[in-house]
Structure 1
């Protein structure tokens, strides 16, 4: 059985090249968050993301207003994220925890109610459906995406310890919980890279999209996903395909930043 070493939460474990049910068990805590859905942190950050981030962005103001509405003291903002997220430039640990919460919580909610263990693969949602569903989740904060993406793009602990690992976990989940065929060895990495590049490219497009209800973003996401998956079938050299997807994403990032 092929496997690879993966470091998570300070320890190493073996993970299979192909998706396996044991890697998608949903724990009480929403890892890598250190708290569960019944905790004050979860309630505060969830409300902030729903009601205040669309207006005030990823800021302490969004968290403080959420604290006030839930009846918690404003001073609690200093303890949210305390040892979980590093500070970043002018952003506090609480704001960094809010960014992390946005990535992790939406990844978990994307696949709620889907159980590949008891559902025929042919009855599972398509990869395209899950990709578009994840983009739908960010329509509410569409006006704040440019700022969010700019924070995530800067080389930092947030990028390497949270953003990139979460991107790969999201791609893993979209493949595992969809009706996509499983792959072994390096082909699995190529497919994950294709999904990751499509998602990031679509989020960058969404951050600049002025069309009604982000109609152009969803058209772009479907076209890009079909293109990279179709090319993946034709490339005999997996490394060549991986390089293509990486470079196409880099070029897209450059063009989108230029537009901004």
Structure 2
């Protein structure tokens, strides 16, 4: 649980209390699960791939190879990227899983990189603003989201070790770095679970959205947040998310297997 303190109109970012310490996302671990920094060649390749190659080719090895060629690296580097990741159920390579991991972590970090302990309380963004901003970060790769989500939802080590923890980190950051009043009891969990549910359902909606500039996705996202925080639909939102995610994931995985 995050405890926010104010001094002279400035919000002091301190996470000094949390109901379950092993779940707590400390600021020093904000880069997790990435084990490399911006100065590394791995970061350079994956960053280039997300910005230049994935919008063209999607989330696959071809995008990584394209970036390796563009940056002048040998294609043999493909075997090094993400070497610690086991292949997924869909037989995706460790390098592809690292690209997906990089996408999740890098976007989350970028979301709040301009917010610090010196940010005045009145200048903090609202939860909705951060939520929409994170969805907007998907726009360059929006047409490939179904491919991404089908990989994230496959049962296995990647889901448990990367996908779900990153979703938890994102929902925690969305609340912690916004002007949203935090809770200090069991509501801490329900609020973050509700935000996680709202975000995942919004991404699933975006993956199937055909409206101009994904207008319906952003309307859907705002409505989800309104229902959760204005109407207090924590339980209903969670129950709906469980079924929605299950059915949507089954369809996404079927479509990916059919293409394989």
TM-score range (shorter-chain normalised) is: 0.7 to 0.9
Following superposition, the deviation at residue 119 of structure 1 comes to: 2.2
CA contact (8 A) 2:108 2:170 kept: yes
Indicate conservation of the 8 Å contact 2:36/2:43, yes or no.
yes
Could you tell me which residue of structure 2 aligns to residue 6 of structure 1? Answer: 22
Alignment of 1:184-195 (within 5 A): 184-195=184-195
Structure 2 gaps of 5+ residues are 1-16, 253-260
Q: CA deviation at 1:32?
A: 1.3
Q: Distance in 2 between matches of 1:154 and 1:148?
A: 11
Q: Deviations over 1:150-206 (max 9, x none)?
A: 111111111110000000000000101100112112111111011101100100000
> Could you tell me whether the CA contact under 8 Å between 1:205 and 1:256 is conserved in 2?
no
Q: Which runs of 5+ in 1 are unaligned?
A: 8-14, 233-240
Distance 1:165 1:26, change over 3 A: closer
Q: Structure 1 pair 2/112, CA: closer, same or farther in 2 (3 Å)? A: closer
Task: Tell me which residue corresponds to 2:122.
Answer: 122
Conservation of the 8 A alpha-carbon contact between 1:208 and 1:256:
no
Q: Residue 110 of structure 1 contacts residue 133 of structure 1 at CA under 8 Å; is this kept in 2?
A: yes
Please state if 1:211 is matched with 2:211. Answer: yes
Instruction: Give yes or no for the alignment of 1:95 onto 2:111.
Output: no
Q: What is the CA-CA distance between 1:255 and the residue it aligns to?
A: 6.0
Name the structure 1 match of 2:105: 104
- Kindly report structure 1 stretches of 4+ aligned residues shifted beyond 4 Å: 254-260
Q: What are the within-5 Å matches in structure 2 for residues 1-260 of structure 1?
A: 3-6=19-22, 15=24, 23-25=26-28, 30-83=31-84, 85-89=85-89, 90-115=91-116, 117-232=117-232, 242-253=234-245, 256=248
Task: Count matched residues.
Answer: 235
**TM-score under structure 2 normalisation?**
0.85
Q: Give the structure-1-normalised TM-score.
A: 0.85
- Alpha-carbon RMSD: 2.0
